[in-house]
A and B are shown apart, each in its own frame.
Chain A
Amino acid sequence: MKQWKKVMSAAMVTAMTVGMLAGCGGNDKNEGSSGSSGNSESGEAVFKIGSIGPVTGGAAIYGEAVKNGAELAVKEINEAGGINGVQIELNFQDDENDPEKAVNAYNTLKDWGMQALLGTVTSAPCVAVGSEAMNDNMFLLTPSGTAVECVQGENAFRVCFSDPMQGVESAKYISDNKLASKVAVIYDSSDVYSTGIYNSFAAEAKNTGIEIVAAEAFTAESKTDFSVQLQKAKDAGAELVFLPFYYSEAALVLQQAAGMNYAPIFFGCDGMDGILGVEGFKAENAQDLMFLSPFTPTSDDETIVKFVTDFEAAYSGTPNQFAADAYDGIYAIKAAMEKAEVTPDMSASDICEAMKTAMTEITIDGVTAKGLTWEASGEPSKEPMVVKIADGDYAVVE
């Protein structure tokens, strides 16, 4: 028995050595390509754009959406002649929504010779990767990392709204339009996105004179039964219930509220987008549901119609806001690269230097906003739209 442990450890050492050699071998090959900064396998110069997001695990739908949205944009740009005539190569790496894995994915992309990063998709990994990218001076544009810290470096920008902004805008909208004075909030205390919005909403509510009569939390482990939270909101006399979380849970909330004959105004954030697509969800339950959204797939706008049709043709499914953010993200990188007149033979750091300034000078007419611009702080300046659901369809409220 003891002998066999020894044999096994010998075998493991061999396996490990082989593994290390394989890792190094792979590296040699990568060095060959990154040494000459961005050459595709055919030897032609390309821009290498990396992207990181979860495509396995619980948050996989968001990563998938970003991956598809980015791929679609890259395909279109390459067909139209690329960036200043240079083709783009996109490499998407899985991070399992784990900061540690995200840093590994980032390093993998660096070995591959990445020159700009679209990512990461989720907030916590984005903060970890952001600090690495800041050290390397790598251009980072996150499509959907909403936490404030995601864009703390000068090299980092984002396409989506930040958490505080959504909370503040929601509170402002509710008080400006006198929707309600007594508000209940239900939020996911185990989720960065949800608590981030709730915190800023609560802070802004104080300033705008909204009274928060109930603030009820749930966690990722208990997100199927909301009757307790709804009952508390009802007992507290809330006229409006603010739901800053994703549509899959919101669908259950709305269904259960309808079941207990509780019909306040429901107000959500951009995560609510897609609620009508939930299987088995009755659209009448969502009647008059309002939410902030950067993107509605049913819009008549020409760019959006084209994006939605192309997306549906390529991936069989309506794009959500993550896909739209990624799509705009790739176009923003393209615009910034063209503005900065970078060439594929430049190093990632030089490209980042040039793109940092270019990013604040470009204007994008994308699918998530018209006339989208960026500040040096990395925040996008775009107006959130308020979408209201009427008769089973999304409609933009002016």
Chain B
Amino acid sequence: MKMKAMNKTTKTNFITYLLVIVIYIVVQTLVMSGSMSSLMQGLLVPLCAYVILAVSLNLTVGILGELSLGHAGFMCVGAFSSAFFSKCMVDVIPSAGLRFFFALLIGAVTAGVFGILIGIPVLRLKGDYLAIVTLAFGEIIKNIVNIMFIGKDANGFHFSTKDAVSLGMEPDGVIIVNGPQGITGTPKDSTFTIGVILILITLFIVLNLIHSRSGRAIMAIRDNRIAAESVGINVTKYKMMAFSVSAALAGVAGVIYAHNLATLTAQPKNFGYNMSIMILVFVVLGGIGNIRGSIIAAIVLTLLPELLRGLSDYRMLIYAIVLIVMMLYNWSPKAIQWRKKYLYFLKFKVEEEV
């Protein structure tokens, strides 16, 4: 009776949460018993950041149906605003937990505000414009961060877009944001446990949004904008809702990322176009609109290059080949046919499980 009350979506959501919790418990046990390598332990926090990124982008790409190529830009905003806060407050707020909590709020809110700012003009457009503008946004953010110099001394904050010398600081001043050298010495506040809690919160927000009235409105817009408009759905409002939530969550991922490394620089590699594409790859490989798939794809694709380290020089080549093969296996019609024919037993098994 009880099982019947639990409908299909609740059940699927429940499995997603359970997946995360089970992975967490397994990993925690491995860490406790000391049988996990340092490499794996070092990867745990970045993994959390990537999972959150993948889930949040899936909200834009899968549910809202808009292509965003600037997700790394929102991550960058969250990372730098929160790292700036933590660096300033490291003496004022000694408790790491409290400081990180505020840093999270600041990162998420700043990224969310940027999401709204970008969304206001762009979400009114049709077609691929969002992709183009978000792509430009990501690059602009990266370049702006690279020319920012902010220092702090007895007289307060100094700001320059030229170089550290023109800040004109007192001798006791410290440079917080040093242009292309970014922010160094961010306190290392992210932990795996916090990361997993944030993944669960992210999932809670995203899954509940999807299955709420607003979520159905958002998906209606994705499937047929004109039809949705004709039944009185406020297209801009719902698009904005999904997009800004997605941006804010990317900001959260940025906060985790920034508080894991001692140095934070905005390079094409971590906050540029490459990163945005990387996140999109997580989403596409995991299945557009499939939240659980995004989580798994993010984990697999982050671990893969590290697990291939044994192959030294060939690892980036193999990684690329594996990526192509996985995409083909996942999406090619022929591959789907082949799987239907030969792997039907797997299908049955999965059906029973789900």
Q: Is the Cβ of A12 less than 8 Å from the Cβ of B346?
A: no
Stretch with Cβ within 8 A of B (4 or more), from A192-200, A281-289, A335-343, A384-392: A192-200
Which chain B residues in 160-183 approach chain A with CB under 8 Å?
A: 162-165, 179-182
The answer to whether residues A19 and B300 also contact, given A9-B293, A199-B165 and a CB cut-off of 8 A, is yes
- Using CB atoms, name the residue of chain B closest to A92: B312
Stretch with Cβ within 8 A of A (4 or more), from B194-202, B243-251, B303-311: B303-311
Chain B nearest CB, measured from A55 CB (Å): 7
A61 to B188, CA, bound (A): 31
A104 to B37, CA, bound (A): 11
Chain A nearest CB, measured from B59 CB (Å): 17
Chain B nearest CB, measured from A283 CB (Å): 32
A125 to B184, CA, bound (A): 11
* Interface size, chain B (Cβ < 8 Å): 65
Q: Is the Cβ of A15 less than 8 Å from the Cβ of B300?
A: yes
Q: Point out the residues of chain B lying under 8 angstroms from A105, CB to CB.
A: 309
Q: Is the Cβ of A99 less than 8 Å from the Cβ of B263?
A: yes
A12 to B295, CA, bound (A): 10
What 0/1 readout, one digit per residue, does chain B (282-301) give for beta carbons within 8 Å of chain A? Answer: 00001100101100110110
* Interface size, chain A (Cβ < 8 Å): 64
Q: Is the Cβ of B300 less than 8 Å from the Cβ of A10?
A: no
Chain A nearest CB, measured from B278 CB (Å): 12
Chain B nearest CB, measured from A74 CB (Å): 17
A94 at the interface (CB under 8 A from B): yes
Q: Which of B179, B307, B310 contacts A189 (CB 8 A)?
A: B179
Stretch with Cβ within 8 A of B (4 or more), from A107-115, A257-265, A326-334: A107-115
Q: Is the Cβ of A16 less than 8 Å from the Cβ of B38?
A: no
What 0/1 readout, one digit per residue, does chain B (263-281) give for beta carbons within 8 Å of chain A? Answer: 1010101100000000000
B321 at the interface (CB under 8 A from A): no
| B interface secondary structure, majority | helix
B225 at the interface (CB under 8 A from A): no
Chain B nearest CB, measured from A264 CB (Å): 22
A236 at the interface (CB under 8 A from B): no
Q: Point out the residues of chain A lying under 8 angstroms from B164, CB to CB.
A: 195, 199
Q: Which of B35, B304, B330 contacts A19 (CB 8 A)?
A: B304
Q: Is the Cβ of A110 less than 8 Å from the Cβ of B38?
A: yes
Q: Is the Cβ of A149 less than 8 Å from the Cβ of B184?
A: yes
A128 at the interface (CB under 8 A from B): yes
The answer to whether residues A7 and B346 also contact, given A12-B300, A24-B30 and a CB cut-off of 8 A, is yes
Q: Point out the residues of chain B lying under 8 angstroms from A125, CB to CB.
A: 263
A348 to B164, CA, bound (A): 38
Additional 10 contacts, C-beta under 8 A, given A19-B300, A128-B263: A4-B336, A5-B287, A9-B296, A12-B297, A27-B40, A30-B37, A97-B267, A105-B309, A107-B42, A195-B164
Identify 18 residue pairs between A and B in the complex whose beta-carbon atoms are under 8 Å apart, listed by A's number.
Answer: A6-B347, A6-B350, A7-B347, A7-B350, A9-B287, A16-B300, A24-B36, A99-B261, A99-B265, A104-B39, A104-B306, A106-B42, A127-B184, A131-B185, A131-B263, A132-B262, A195-B179, A202-B163
Chain A residues near B (Cβ < 8 Å) = 1, 3-13, 15-16, 19-20, 22-24, 26-28, 30-31, 55-57, 93-94, 96-100, 103-108, 110-111, 123-125, 127-128, 130-132, 147, 149, 189-192, 195-196, 198-199, 202-203, 215, 219
